[in-house]
Amino acid sequence: MPAAFAPASAPVPAAVPVPDDPFASLNAEQRAAVEHDVGAAAPRPLLVVAGAGSGKTNTLAHRVARLILAGADPQRLLLLTFSRRAANEMTQRAGNVLHRVLQPIVGGGGQGITTLPWAGTFHSIGARLLREFAGRIGLDESFTIHDRGDSEDLMGMVRHEIGLTGTQKRFPLKGTCLSIYSRVVNSRDPLGVVLQSTFPWCCEWEDELKRLFGAYVDAKQEQNVLDYDDLLLFWAEMASDPELGPEIGALFDHVLVDEYQDTNRLQAAIITGMKPDGQGVMVVGDDAQSIYSFRGATVRNILDFPGQFSQPAELITLERNYRSTQPILAASNALIAAALERHAKTLWTDKAATGLPQLVLIPDEAEQARWVCRRILEQREAGIKLTQQAVLFRAASHSAALELELMRRNIPFVKFGGLKFLEASHIKDVLAVLRFAQNPNGRMAGFRVLQLIPGIGPATATRLLDAVAEAPEALAAVEAFEVPARSRGDWDAFVTLYRHLRTPGLRWPADIELVKNWYLPHLERLHDDAQARAADVEQLAQLAGGHGSRETFLAEITLDPPEATSDRAGPPLLDEDYLILSTIHSSKGQEWTSVHVLNVVDGCIPSDMSTGSAEDIEEERRLLYVAMTRAKEHLHLVVPNRFFIKQQAQMGDRHVYAARTRFVTPAMLKHFEECVWLNAETAQSKKPMPESVRMLVRDRARNAWK
């Protein structure tokens, strides 16, 4: 039995007598979900369909605590969440409940009982299981994991190698190829179907793509690397194996899945493979918040869950919303009621409020930025901290004007969902060195590292990587390699580093210190803003200290990267109080007292990139629903009327007119307070819009398309 599955060293006493009812705050439906088949020998599958803000995360955390109190072994509890942050939060919340109950009994805190070693994302748990079972499925356990960028690069390289770049007609780019591949793997649909439905302009390349994907899989195998999709694919394969599937399933008494609406077919197959009868399986989700179909997630998973196992699942619906005021909820309900298919539920709340959500008409994006800043400062004066206010938008680029305005006014903010830490080239460089040391056969990492050395280009790097692939020990091949004379000094420094990194017994995180010292002079040479980037490298080194080994660090940072880098629009203006800027996708699961949604116009939401099919449009509607239901007390949908065209001379006046999003229909306007804002300097906001202006705006919007 692998070490990770060893029994807990300090088991929780079975069925502890409960002094105070820690579940008293739950409502009847939440309680039913928490108590479902507790203590039963064979707990039936359970689906909790929970509306936005109805406490599903809360319920799941209480269920975890309840199960542990009833004697469940935390080591045999698999908790699958959408992000690592969600896994940590869940563990902490369950810990708080347990703490409240157990503290009077065991005294002195009762902490430490709630480490949930199997709480994490599908991808990170998949990586762990694959390493544990590597030997059984013919996988070398030193495999490294490619992030999306590495995978694209490898796809590009293979595409070139098999001669698809030189074709007369333009073959799809590497990023598109990877998206198609990923979609096929995650949706489990045949290539032809995926091309027809999602990438119709690539249909003519079906045969070539098939050949490319075959070669891509071979390349990954040769180099002993796995991409994100492999983590799910291999896990699903193991789960469907008649011998391994039950063995893996038997490691866990309970399998709990959060945000089930954003899982894909492969993830559903993993659950059914491990637990064909659904015993101990509980999933929680909201079909109205399914927003990840571009990653292959399918809302069908949640709609079909009740009949997925050999026994029917029980269904519990949570409809009481604890987050938002009644008017916010009424507007959100009206919006989602127009959706084509969903589990019927209508949220209600007893949080009364006087104000309606606002629909704010604004002349253009620049005024939108000014108005939002002004409102945010007003609200702060009224006692709402900046961290309790968020500005949400459909695409990361939509906040550009606002970011400038915030910086001009010195309002601190943090942005989620922009450029990711791992996408920054300096972070990629450092990680590539570590990866090349961990797995010398991983060519993408090696290729990147070697070309950091002055005088070494793609041809020399390829020769060295070939030599490494053929040699029994990578270090010997590196030491014996002859580089051009002008690279000699830099090369020797690299060989010394590589020798250290390949020496057994090097104590992590010493590796990253060595890499940092080697890399910083290169950073100085390569970038003008080296200082800001060096701070990121420092942050990476600090993160590294929190991991047990090079191997786990590389796996975890690839799977769950930190968000912010100095590569963003500006340095993160951190303060003890700061405003939240976030894409709607990254706002999932969060809540704020006040929410502004930018660019609530057709073309932005629905995005003009996503209006291909009825399903795409439906997903855009759900996105707006997710954004609106993040608000507790104040909600503002901002509708700028005019967009300046980006590619034109400075001070150019070319622009287009936009219309309010189609999702807020005239019949829904009664749920909003409509206001118009003409100019930040003349305080004209909140006056009812004069009919003359209304007409003018409407006519102009229409004329723009004549």
Ligand X SMILES: Nc1ncnc2c1ncn2[C@@H]1O[C@H](COP(=O)(O)OP(=O)(O)OP(=O)(O)O)[C@@H](O)[C@H]1O
Binding residues for ATP: 50-57
Nearest approach in angstroms of CB 637 to ligand X is: 18
**Minimal CB distance residue for ligand X:** 55
Q: Does 462 bind ligand X (CB under 6 A)?
A: no
CB nearer to ligand X: pick between 27 and 451: 27
265 phi and psi angles, rounded to 5 deg? -60, -35
CB nearer to ligand X: pick between 48 and 604: 48
Please say whether the beta carbons of 509 and 541 come within 8 A: yes
Residue 606 is classified by DSSP as T
Contacting range for ligand X; rule: CB under 6 A; set: 26-34, 99-107, 411-419, 616-624: 26-34
Contacting range for ligand X; rule: CB under 6 A; set: 54-62, 94-102, 187-195, 332-340: 54-62
Nearest approach in angstroms of CB 53 to ligand X is: 4
Q: Does 594 bind ligand X (CB under 6 A)?
A: no
Nearest approach in angstroms of CB 55 to ligand X is: 3
Q: Which of 12, 34, 44, 54 binds ligand X (CB under 6 A)?
A: 54
Task: Determine the Cα–Cα distance for residues 695 and 450; give it in Å rounded to an integer.
Answer: 63
Helix axes 443-450, 148-161, angle to 10 degrees: 90
Nearest approach in angstroms of CB 321 to ligand X is: 8
Of all helices (H) and strands (E), which one includes residue 478? helix 474-480
Nearest approach in angstroms of CB 168 to ligand X is: 50
Give me 340's structure tokens.
Answer: 């084509």
**Residue labelled with tokens 């002993």:** 224
CB nearer to ligand X: pick between 322 and 348: 322
Q: Does 30 bind ligand X (CB under 6 A)?
A: yes
Q: Does 263 bind ligand X (CB under 6 A)?
A: no
Contacting range for ligand X; rule: CB under 6 A; set: 23-31, 264-272, 363-371, 612-620: 23-31
Q: Which residues from 57-116 bind ligand X, rule CB under 6 A?
A: 57-58
Q: Does 589 bind ligand X (CB under 6 A)?
A: yes
Contacting range for ligand X; rule: CB under 6 A; set: 56-64, 354-362, 384-392, 416-424: 56-64
Q: Which of 323, 370, 550, 642 binds ligand X (CB under 6 A)?
A: 323
Nearest approach in angstroms of CB 571 to ligand X is: 30
Q: Does 629 bind ligand X (CB under 6 A)?
A: yes
Q: Which residues fall within 8 angstroms of residue 219, CB to CB, at 6 or more apart? A: 154, 157, 158, 443
Q: Which residues from 112-131 bind ligand X, rule CB under 6 A?
A: none
Task: Determine the Cα–Cα distance for residues 295 and 570; give it in Å rounded to an integer.
Answer: 29
Nearest approach in angstroms of CB 589 to ligand X is: 4
Furthest-apart CA atoms within the chain: distance in Å:
81
Task: Determine the Cα–Cα distance for residues 323 and 349; give it in Å rounded to an integer.
Answer: 8
Q: Does 27 bind ligand X (CB under 6 A)?
A: yes
Task: Determine the Cα–Cα distance for residues 68 and 693; give it in Å rounded to an integer.
Answer: 62
Contacting range for ligand X; rule: CB under 6 A; set: 45-53, 388-396, 427-435, 572-580: 45-53
Of all helices (H) and strands (E), which one includes residue 318? strand 314-318
Residue 297 DSSP SS3:
strand
CB nearer to ligand X: pick between 206 and 591: 591
Q: Does 26 bind ligand X (CB under 6 A)?
A: yes
Task: Determine the Cα–Cα distance for residues 475 and 538; give it in Å rounded to an integer.
Answer: 27
CB nearer to ligand X: pick between 24 and 382: 24
Nearest approach in angstroms of CB 342 to ligand X is: 14
Give me 639's structure tokens.
Answer: 């509708």
Task: Determine the Cα–Cα distance for residues 403 and 573; give it in Å rounded to an integer.
Answer: 11
CB nearer to ligand X: pick between 114 and 324: 324
Residue 81 is classified by DSSP as E
Annotated binding site: 50-57
100 phi and psi angles, rounded to 5 deg? -60, -40
Q: Does 322 bind ligand X (CB under 6 A)?
A: yes
456 phi and psi angles, rounded to 5 deg? -105, 120
Nearest approach in angstroms of CB 165 to ligand X is: 44
- As beta bridge partners, residue 254 has 77
- As beta bridge partners, residue 225 has 144
CB nearer to ligand X: pick between 364 and 591: 591
Task: Determine the Cα–Cα distance for residues 369 and 638; give it in Å rounded to an integer.
Answer: 10
Give me 612's structure tokens.
Answer: 């291909």
Task: Determine the Cα–Cα distance for residues 680 and 372; give it in Å rounded to an integer.
Answer: 10
Please say whether the beta carbons of 284 and 315 come within 8 A: no
CB nearer to ligand X: pick between 131 and 323: 323
534 phi and psi angles, rounded to 5 deg? -60, -35
Give me 301's structure tokens.
Answer: 């998973």
Contacting range for ligand X; rule: CB under 6 A; set: 55-63, 333-341, 382-390, 558-566: 55-63
Q: Which of 53, 245, 357, 509 binds ligand X (CB under 6 A)?
A: 53
CB nearer to ligand X: pick between 164 and 635: 635
Nearest approach in angstroms of CB 345 to ligand X is: 12
Ramachandran sector of residue 678 (left: φ over 0; alpha: ψ -120 to 50; beta: rest)? alpha
Please say whether the beta carbons of 318 and 59 come within 8 A: yes
Q: How many residues does the chain have?
A: 706
Q: Which residues from 391-430 bind ligand X, rule CB under 6 A?
A: none
Q: Does 262 bind ligand X (CB under 6 A)?
A: no
CB nearer to ligand X: pick between 308 and 587: 587
CB nearer to ligand X: pick between 58 and 308: 58
Q: Does 287 bind ligand X (CB under 6 A)?
A: no
Q: Which of 12, 33, 52, 427 binds ligand X (CB under 6 A)?
A: 52
Find the distance separating the first CA and the last CA of the chain, reported in whole Å: 71
Q: Does 22 bind ligand X (CB under 6 A)?
A: no
Instruction: Tell whether omega for the bond before 606 is within 30 degrees of 0, i.e. cis.
Output: yes
Instruction: Give the Cβ contact number of residue 216 at 10 Å.
Output: 22
Contacting range for ligand X; rule: CB under 6 A; set: 52-60, 130-138, 303-311, 688-696: 52-60
CB nearer to ligand X: pick between 137 and 337: 337
Instruction: Tell whether omega for the bond before 690 is within 30 degrees of 0, i.e. cis.
Output: no
Q: Which residues from 328-387 bind ligand X, rule CB under 6 A?
A: none
CB nearer to ligand X: pick between 323 and 415: 323
Binding footprint of ligand X, residue count (CB under 6 A): 19
Nearest approach in angstroms of CB 67 to ligand X is: 18
Q: Which of 47, 49, 50, 600 binds ligand X (CB under 6 A)?
A: 50
Please say whether the beta carbons of 567 and 418 come within 8 A: no
Q: Which of 150, 286, 287, 551 binds ligand X (CB under 6 A)?
A: 286
Question: Where do the H-state alpha helices sit in 54-190?
Answer: 56-69, 84-106, 122-133, 148-161, 174-187
In the complex, the residues that contact ligand X under the rule CB under 6 A are 25-27, 30, 50, 52-58, 286, 289, 322-323, 589, 591, 629
